[in-house]
Amino acid sequence: MLDREFIIKNRELVEKTCYAKKVKIDFNNLFSLFDKRKNLLNSLNLLREEKNKNSFEVANRRKNGEDVNPLLEKGKEISQKIKKIEDGLSGVEIQEFEILKWIPNILDPEVPTGENSTFKIVKEQGDFSKKGFSYFDILQNSGSVDFKRGTKISASHFPLYIGKAAYLERILINFMLDLHTTKHNYTEVFPPFLVNYDTLFSTGQLPKLEEDMYKLKDDEFFLIPTAEVPVTNIYKDEILTEKSLPIKFVAYSACFRREAGSYGKDTKGLKRLHQFNKVELVRFTKPQDSKKEHQEMLKEAEKVLKLLDLSYRVILLPDYDTSFSSSKTYDIEVWAEGSGEFLEVSSVSNFLDFQARRGKIRFKNKEGKNVFVHTLNGSGLATPRTVIAIIEKYQISDDDFDFPPILKDYIKFGKEIFKEV
RNA sequence: GGAGAGGUGGCCGAGUGGUCGAAGGCGGCGGAUUGCUAAUCCGUUGUAGUGGUAAUACCGCUACCCCGGGUUCAAAUCCCGGCCUCUCCGCCA
């Protein structure tokens, strides 16, 4: 959420951002609400002052045995006026909030913008030739992911991993968690997978993405679309100390997405799922550090692919692809050599104080002021598409694949291996 | 799920209708004392909004004692609803 004052001072920038992110906001209405609110607030404060003085006077006169009846009458009148203005004010504030909550975060100046803008390739690592069988054939032939039975048990896009592929999932998750805790100094957390409305509002999934979320029918809970949601909310409504920053959490979670509106895309296989596994990095930083730490997180996510010896590229998303809450997002796309295409396996974003403001996450700075932290997160990584790239790169035949050497080492020696890499 | 108790400032804790933004203590900050540490003493110490102003300095006003309503001239204090925590019982992994 953006600050009222900020919007007033930077109207042009905010309008431009909304245009770029394809959000329609009635700014004239918003600004007239700002005015209305201010006027109501001012007269309300004056009336309240009058009320307090009157009440005080009642107590005073009563002590002296004087007649207080006229004051009681006056007090009643003032209170009625106050009630009226309060009602008007809360009406205005509700309307204002209804608009404010839809305004997306502003963009970093480096984000590609403009008519024909497109993503910018920041880095290319490895070679991008197409060869071998596709992961889908290998999995089908080996039976290590059973799409049919997954569908029978649940629905389509809920795969059932069996044997080797199930094991690969588990090893990969542990491998990534151990990498980030031992090598990159993150603290591991294991969060709830069901969260409430406020939590999703803080991180910005709600209200905009409600249709992408699984919601429980009888309880006010949503299934998390990413661990970012519960983990960023760990410090909701709290004031942190300056010296505790940066705070770095890594979390594994299953992720649940309805993927509404993406029918027809990636209709089979592991590319687009309603449930998948992901290891997520989350940081809370001081405002002046977030840019630098954003770059660090990108490197940490890349590290996973480097260790697995997979080819990939890093792209900087253009304005219209940058999510509602984000000011700047890098995607990491792994090269799937059997399929011959890039697959997004990570999204690394800087949210500045946008989420912190929605969730009231602050820290006390040296001057004793409470200021909003900056929040960042990045996938490190999502498993299904990583698995696709692994299977295609380390395939043995059209019905078998091997594990990458680093994973074999990891299975043998555990997290000790991260001392050397 | 049933029964009971309770939610007050960074923390502990007093306050049951009227100078209460809230005693006292701890912690924090500033200072005095001090060979160092500890101890002691003095002072200070919430957040947000708004007006005086150009000001993150100063002064005034308003709001906030879990949240939302209500009663009253006046609510931390009384009433109603909700949420949460704790204890006991039940159930279960």
pLDDT recorded at residue A237: 84
Domain annotation covers residue A105? no
Is pLDDT above 80 for A343?
A: yes
CA to C1' distance (Å), from A149 to B32: 79
Question: Of all protein residues, which has its CA closest to the C1' atom of B60?
Answer: A49
Q: Same structural domain for residues A75 and A149?
A: no
Q: Same structural domain for residues A248 and A325?
A: yes
Domain annotation covers residue A20? no
CA to C1' distance (Å), from A28 to B72: 41
CA to C1' distance (Å), from A84 to B17: 25
> Considering A71, A100, A129, which residue would you say is the last residue of a domain?
A100
Query: Which nucleotide, over all strands, has the C1' atom closest to the CA of A76?
Result: B73
Cα separation, A369 vs A11, whole angstroms: 26
Domain annotation covers residue A134? yes
pLDDT tens column, A61-90: 888 888 888 999 999 999 999 999 998 898
> Considering A66, A100, A134, which residue would you say is the last residue of a domain?
A100
CA to C1' distance (Å), from A56 to B46: 25
Q: Same structural domain for residues A201 and A311?
A: yes
Query: Which nucleotide, over all strands, has the C1' atom closest to the CA of A72?
Result: B73
Q: Same structural domain for residues A340 and A391?
A: yes
Closest CA to A137 of A336, A390, A312, A338: A338
pLDDT tens column, A219-249: 778 999 999 999 999 988 888 888 888 999 9
**Number of domains composing chain A:** 2
Q: Same structural domain for residues A177 and A308?
A: yes
Q: Same structural domain for residues A279 and A241?
A: yes
Choose the most confident range, by mean pLDDT, from A43-47, A76-80, A91-95, A384-388: A384-388
Q: Same structural domain for residues A390 and A337?
A: yes
The residue-averaged pLDDT of A340-364 equals 93
Domain annotation covers residue A147? yes
CA to C1' distance (Å), from A243 to B49: 29
Domain annotation covers residue A5? no
Q: Same structural domain for residues A36 and A149?
A: no
Query: Which positions on chain B have an atom < 7 Å from some protein CB?
Result: 10, 18, 47-51, 56, 61-63, 69-70, 72-74
Domain annotation covers residue A115? no
- Looking at chain A, the whole-number percentage of residues with pLDDT higher than 90 is 73
Q: What angle do CA A161, A407, A277 make, to 5 degrees?
A: 40
Q: Same structural domain for residues A83 and A232?
A: no
CA to C1' distance (Å), from A38 to B79: 33
Q: Please state the ipTM of this predicted complex.
A: 0.86
Is the Cβ–Cβ distance between A345 and A334 less than 8 Å?
Answer: yes
Is the Cβ–Cβ distance between A71 and A79 less than 8 Å?
Answer: no
Q: How does DSSP classify residue A347?
A: E
pLDDT recorded at residue A3: 87
Range of the domain at A236: 120-419
Q: What is the DSSP string of A209-222?
A: TGGGS-B-SSSS-E
Domain annotation covers residue A12? no
CA to C1' distance (Å), from A386 to B93: 33
Q: Same structural domain for residues A230 and A82?
A: no
CATH number at residue A229: 3.30.930.10
Query: Which nucleotide, over all strands, has the C1' atom closest to the CA of A38?
Result: B50
CA to C1' distance (Å), from A115 to B14: 65
> Considering A41, A71, A100, which residue would you say is the last residue of a domain?
A100
The residue-averaged pLDDT of A307-325 equals 96
CA to C1' distance (Å), from A20 to B51: 38
The residue-averaged pLDDT of A343-362 equals 93
Is the Cβ–Cβ distance between A303 and A250 less than 8 Å?
Answer: no
Is pLDDT above 70 for A263?
A: no
Domain annotation covers residue A181? yes
pLDDT recorded at residue A264: 66
CB closer than 7 A to strand B: which residues?
A 5, 38, 41-42, 44-46, 48-49, 51-56, 58-59, 62, 71-72, 75-76, 78-79, 83, 90, 239, 367-370
Q: Same structural domain for residues A318 and A412?
A: yes
The residue-averaged pLDDT of A173-179 equals 97
CATH number at residue A95: 1.10.287.40
Query: Which nucleotide, over all strands, has the C1' atom closest to the CA of A239?
Result: B10
Q: Same structural domain for residues A67 and A206?
A: no
